[in-house]
A and B are shown apart, each in its own frame.
Chain A
Amino acid sequence: MIARIDRLQVLLVVMLAALGVMAVFSAHADWVRQVVWVLLGGAVYVAATFHDFRRLRALAPALYAGMLLMLIAVHLIGHTALGARRWLSVAGFPLEPSELSKLALVIVLAAYLSRTERMSWRVFAGALALFAAPAGLVLTQPDLGTTLVLVAVTFGVLFLAGARPAQLASLVAGGALALPLLPYFLRGYQRRRLEIFLDPSQDPLGAGYNLLQARIAVGSGGLFGRGWLHGLQGQLGFVPERATDFVFATFAEEFGLLGSLVLLTLFGTLLIRALRSATLSPDRFGELLAGGTFVMVFVQVVENVGMNIGLLPIAGIPLPLIS
């Protein structure tokens, strides 16, 4: 069993997790909790390696049902943050089901699409139906960022599963048609975020402030950074959500372009390894599972880093393994 573990992958994950703890510590957040979560994640990983991943396939329907139940529970008894219901308290632990829904959707789609080689319109429609239920629940929390990740994951898995060009094109077209409807799903602050993204100087103290301060933090890191725990913007609280959504800005300020490149390289290598494991996979389920995981992590890294450097609108998506 142990021999089958990708050692490089483990090393990358450990390094990223270590950087994450450093960044969170520097951001004056609860780094102990971060360590606990990292260890918890590690335990799950180790437990998973002792089980054949193929058993996940059988578990997929139950996983899917559990996910939907939790998302519904959020709507009924969830805690509110920033005007949206996202959190569930499970034995005192804050739990964000929308986070879990991403991974669950990857597993479920991989299980569903691996049952057939050919992508008929019926199979295609079934996949969309599997996507629509959790996506709808997440969107109405509302959590636009996670919804977009779910969209990307679905698109990616369908692509890797061999969806026909016409099917992919219909997805793009559908997305384009849905775009004008988006403002109806956006809360005031979300709409504001979009507007501010288009013109950050509009409101330097409010929503645009986040964007501006994050950009200033990243830029002031320069080539080599200000040094761990020596960032001005991050240390003095000018970077908002410095331990979560904007942890990358805090990191980039303290470690500079070089540190940022190291971080991106670690992520890049990890992602390529994920794709490689897809190519090595003995069956279609494994291939799609690895591919879906790749899409999920990739989309989140790009969106998070992108919003930290002002390339993409703020969507409240955390940086995987770090924040």
Chain B
Amino acid sequence: MISLGGAEPKPRWSLRLTAAATVAVLVTGVLVDKLAQLQVTDGSRLAALAQANTIHRVVLEADRGIIYDRHGSPLVENSPVWSLAVTPAGLLSEPMDRAQELIELARISGVAEEKLAAQLFAADPFESVIVKTNLTQAAELAINERLPELPGASIVQRSVRNYRDPLVFGHVVGYVGPIDPAEQKRLEGLGYQPDEMVGKVGVEAGLESSLRGSDGWADVEVDARGRVTRTLAIQPPVPGHALYLSLDAALQKATAASLAAGLVRDQKTAGASVVIDPRTGEVLAMVSIPGYDTNLFTHGISQAAYNRLLNDPDRPLLNRAIAGQYAPGSTFKMVTATAGLQEGKITAQTLLSCPPYINVSGWIYHNWASYSLGQMNVAKALATSCDTFFYQVASMVGDVTLARYARAFGFGQAQAIEMPGVAAGLVPDHIWKQIHCGVPDLNSDECRWSEGDTITFGIGQSYLLTTPLNQAVYVATLANGGHLLRPTLVHEVRDANGHVLPKQAEVAANVPASADTIQAVREGMREEINPPYHMNYWFRASGVPSDGGGKTGTAQWGGSGLDLPTHAWFVFFAPYSQSEISLSVFVERGELSEVEAAPIGVDIMKFYRNNVGTIRSA
């Protein structure tokens, strides 16, 4: 400053100096007014903006629960994947430097430069944007090394599901994938992040809430470059529950191998098998062939690969074990037998004929044999699978009662098993037919339930549909003396601290049948697999004791008449008393159940018997 001197002269305020002072005061007044407006009137709003600039809530993703088999062998693991994230505000600020940095980022990430720039321009400058996912480990290392020269860029690590043996376990375990737009609202309401993975299929979907865990968060202060300067508050994530499936991994593999071998042997391409414990309802094995590589989905499946799966005539995406609906054929005869016995239409000793056909109001209904098998009781009728015997019983019982017994054995109900997409099957009766005939005239042939509908219902045809899972539940009910169990895929659930969580009740209902009735039906199943019947051959050939009960079924489908295509079934339980295993085997387009389906079941049994010690170990 320049100091001005003078011996105490009197200030001489000229007009112009006064004017200058006045202007200065007025202009300062304008500044103060604007300052007050910013700092007082708009103060809290701008302070909130400053807060939003600098304080970010970061989601700390919870680890998804691991899925194991019943003995703790992992069926999926969480593997790390790396993504390149960029915070636009953190990039170099000089236009030239920024352009250079973008070129460099595009080069190392392999994303086209224009695409990268467009992505960043559209984003909130203070939020990090994932510009490239699934970096290879080499790329991750290379980028990590260069991060100091690339302000604003960072590597984000997430975990991705990596499924073991997906062709064997895939249909049960399922997979996770990005949230569908249709589900977005609901899931975001539950606290899901838009880019989170959610269970789509199998127990990954069925037990989503248990597996997911709860995300934590951290409130962090970030600087203008997007770097975290400090953590203000933190809520750690809680990992999802560890899920011990009821599956025995070894038995599952053996079941898949037996089924696959059987299909190959008979030049078939699709089938399913479900093995459950008739004491608990636990599913020990559940296989649907063909399977598919569920890992394709977690890493982002290509449209071409997805189309290939969709258009495959063998429909690999269909889990036949729970969602394939087929006529049960002769495997249904135990229901008809139970109904006839329990309703007093027949006794265990009642002898009925087994002619080559019967005539119902002018229509001919054949037995599988073109000759008479003579008089027989219900056990022998089951063992020989005499159709004409059961036509007569069904006719005596009637469609409505038969339907009631079918439902009591679990037919026509979607089992409450821990995965989505479980099909119910179908139990028909005359009312059902009237509702579903699709013709306005309820007295027309299409809508009228005929006696023929009733008697074919009695041998598992008519409109009846079931699933391999329902078949396994059904045979388990016969195995355990009439308790309809709720099938489950869960052996044990443990929370993050290792505590075992309680399970729900297992028995859903009891079949309204006396012990004697069930016993008479079981006797028929026991006879079928023992001499003099041919089925015993498979047991002898495999060295598996024929201690148990079985029933085959070759079900026609695709209309009515002779020479229709068929599916082959085999249901089985063992041992005969104190049964501990029951199973269903389904061979799509199988032509002869005794030859195609039964040996697969025996093969599975062989593995079970040889390995029962490890399968049943705690």
A residues near B (Cβ < 8 Å) are 1, 4-6, 9, 13, 45, 48-49, 52-53, 56, 156, 159-160, 162, 204-205, 213, 215-223, 232-233, 236-238, 240, 252-253, 256-257, 260-261, 264, 268, 271-272, 274-282, 286, 289-291, 293-295, 298, 302, 305-306, 309-311
Contact = CB atoms under 8 A, between A and B. Distances in A.
A233 B53 contact: yes
Contact of A160 (B4, B17, B32, B50): B17
A309 B38 contact: yes
Closest 10 A/B residue pairs (Cβ): A219-B46, A4-B5, A237-B224, A220-B50, A220-B47, A279-B11, A236-B223, A277-B4, A257-B39, A222-B43
Given A261-B32, A298-B24, A236 B224 contact: yes
A301 to B, nearest CB: 9
Contact of B20 (A156, A213, A289): A156
B40 interface: yes
A222 B1 contact: no
B35 A252 contact: yes
A216 B39 contact: no
B3 A5 contact: yes
A205 B125 contact: yes
A131 B108 CA distance: 55
A268 B43 contact: no
A311 B34 contact: yes
Interface residues of B, number: 51
Interface string B18-49: 01110011011011101110111011111101
A42 B72 CA distance: 79
Contacts of B16: 159-160, 162
A5 B1 CA distance: 10
Given A159-B20, A279-B11, A279-B12, A217 B3 contact: no
Given A278-B17, A279-B17, A291-B20, A238 B38 contact: no
A279 B13 contact: yes
Nearest to A238: B224
A320 B24 CA distance: 16
Given A218-B39, A223-B43, A237 B31 contact: no
B369 to A, nearest CB: 85
15 contacts: A4-B5, A49-B3, A204-B125, A216-B49, A218-B35, A219-B39, A223-B40, A232-B221, A236-B229, A238-B50, A268-B24, A282-B9, A309-B31, A309-B35, A311-B31
A233 B55 CA distance: 11
B53 A53 contact: no
B401 interface: no
B38 A53 contact: no
Interface-central residue, B25, B89, B221, by most chain A CB under 10 Å: B89
A291 B16 CA distance: 10
B38 A215 contact: yes
Interface in B182-240: 221-225, 229
B88 interface: yes
A232 B53 contact: yes
B9 A280 contact: yes
Contacts of B223: 236-238
A281 B39 contact: no
Contacts of A5: 3
B21 A272 contact: yes
Contacts of A213: 53
B429 to A, nearest CB: 69
Contacts of A264: 28, 31-32, 35
A53 B13 contact: no
Contact of B3 (A48, A222, A233, A298): A48
Given A4-B6, A280-B11, A311-B30, A238 B53 contact: yes
B1 A45 contact: yes
B364 interface: no
A166 to B, nearest CB: 16
A9 B39 contact: no
A215 B3 CA distance: 37
Contact of A216 (B12, B53, B222, B225): B53
B17 A220 contact: no
A159 to B, nearest CB: 6
Contact of B21 (A256, A260, A275): A275
Nearest to A218: B38
Contacts of B12: 279-280
A252 B32 CA distance: 12
Contact of B50 (A217, A252, A295): A217
B1 A293 contact: yes
Nearest to A283: B6
B45 A219 contact: yes
Interface in B557-615: none
B509 to A, nearest CB: 64
A282 B32 CA distance: 35
B78 interface: no
Nearest to B221: A236
Given A205-B88, A261-B32, A221 B39 contact: yes
B2 interface: yes
A279 B6 CA distance: 11
A307 B187 CA distance: 46
Given A159-B20, A271-B24, A298-B24, A281 B88 contact: no
A291 to B, nearest CB: 7
Given A159-B16, A280-B11, 17 more contacts: A1-B5, A53-B3, A159-B19, A160-B16, A204-B125, A216-B50, A218-B38, A219-B46, A222-B40, A222-B43, A237-B225, A260-B39, A268-B25, A272-B24, A279-B17, A305-B31, A306-B31
B243 to A, nearest CB: 43
B54 A233 contact: yes
A159 B2 CA distance: 20
Nearest to B38: A219
Contacts of B19: 159
B51 interface: yes
A220 B44 CA distance: 7
Interface string B357-370: 00000000000000
B210 to A, nearest CB: 41
Given A236-B222, A237-B224, A275 B14 contact: no
A215 to B, nearest CB: 7
A206 to B, nearest CB: 8
A257 B105 CA distance: 43
Contacts of B14: 279
A175 B617 CA distance: 97
A233 B44 contact: no
Contact of B4 (A159, A232, A237, A281): A281
A223 B20 CA distance: 30
Contacts of A215: 38, 46
Given A4-B6, A9-B3, A223 B39 contact: yes
B125 to A, nearest CB: 5
A238 B50 CA distance: 9
Nearest to B55: A232
Given A156-B20, A238-B224, A282 B6 contact: yes
A6 B3 contact: yes
